[in-house]
């Protein structure tokens, strides 16, 4: 059941927390990796500032937990049911060829509960199952016989993030390149438009930041459920 929020910041922080809880509930490790920080100042960031960005801005850290809910971020193939917002389930990942696969497999096999397994490089693909797609349309394209499993690469364009660094008067723009799939523990009001859900959880807490929850946002969220 998605938690409907007003901002990407809320969504990203909730997804990071809930993915860890999902891994603990399922008794599996969470696989994480750091995305490159791009931008004019990126190459000159002190190590302590770089670490602070990774801690405070979840979008710079990718994560994978088997079976976790997600949604596609773009219109991959609308004719075959692969559109922006299509619900998916995280299936597995394809490691970067530079990755030490033996080390990763050993870390996964020996990891305790509530443990993160860190990759050195972002995976080439996050493979996702698409429960709502017609398997007959993907006979020669699926990675899983009898069902629809597709690879999702990283997006081609760098996405901006405004960050206020210590000692600077204004925020600077940095960039990152995520995969074309998002976790669906939390979803913004904007992203959930047009979707139909059995249930939603509405984040009604008073916000000290923009955007505040408006009546139109509330109406959109409430109208996503059948009853």
Categorize the per-residue pLDDT at 96 as very low, low, confident or very high, splitting at 50, 70 and 90: very high
Whether residue 199 lies inside any domain: the answer is no
3-state secondary structure of 29: coil
Q: What is the mean pLDDT of residues 19-35?
A: 94
Evaluate whether 184 touches 87 at the Cβ level (below 8 Å).
Answer: yes
Whether residue 141 lies inside any domain: the answer is yes
Number of folded domains in the chain? 1
Domain extent at residue 174 = 26-184
Sorted by sequence, the CB contacts under 8 Å of residue 82 that are 6+ apart come out as 72, 75, 76, 130, 133, 150
pLDDT at 100: 97
C-alpha count within 13 angstroms, C-beta hemisphere, residue 25: 10
Whether residue 98 lies inside any domain: the answer is yes
Residue 93 bridge partners (DSSP): 126
Indicate the pTM of the whole model.
0.90
Question: How far is residue 175 from each of residues 37, 58, 99, 204, 217, measured CA to CA in Å?
Answer: 6, 13, 23, 30, 28
pLDDT tens digits along 98-150 = 999 999 999 999 987 778 999 999 999 999 999 988 888 898 889 988 899 99
């Amino acid at each position: 059941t998605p938690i409907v929020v007003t901002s990407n910041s809320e969504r990203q922080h909730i997804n990071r927390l809930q993915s860890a809880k999902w891994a603990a509930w399922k008794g599996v490790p969470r696989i994480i990796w750091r995305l490159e920080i791009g931008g004019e100042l990126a190459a000159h960031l002190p190590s302590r500032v770089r670490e602070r960005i990774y801690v405070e801005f979840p979008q710079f850290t990718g994560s994978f937990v088997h079976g976790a809910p997600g949604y596609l971020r773009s219109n991959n193939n609308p004719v075959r049911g692969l559109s922006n917002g299509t619900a998916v389930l995280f299936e597995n990942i394809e490691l970067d060829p530079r990755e030490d696969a033996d080390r990763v497999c050993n870390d996964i096999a020996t990891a305790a509960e509530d443990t993160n397994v860190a990759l050195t490089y972002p995976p080439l693909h996050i493979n996702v199952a698409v429960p709502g797609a017609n398997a007959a349309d993907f006979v020669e394209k699926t990675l899983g016989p009898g069902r629809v499993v597709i690879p999702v690469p990283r997006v081609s364009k760098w996405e901006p993030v405004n960050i206020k660094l210590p000692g600077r008067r204004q925020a600077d723009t940095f960039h990152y390149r995520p995969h074309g799939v998002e976790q669906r523990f939390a979803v913004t009001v904007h992203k959930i438009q047009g979707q139909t859900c059995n249930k939603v959880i509405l984040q009604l807490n008073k916000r000290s930041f923009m955007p505040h929850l408006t009546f139109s946002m509330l109406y959109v969220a409430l109208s996503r459920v059948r009853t």
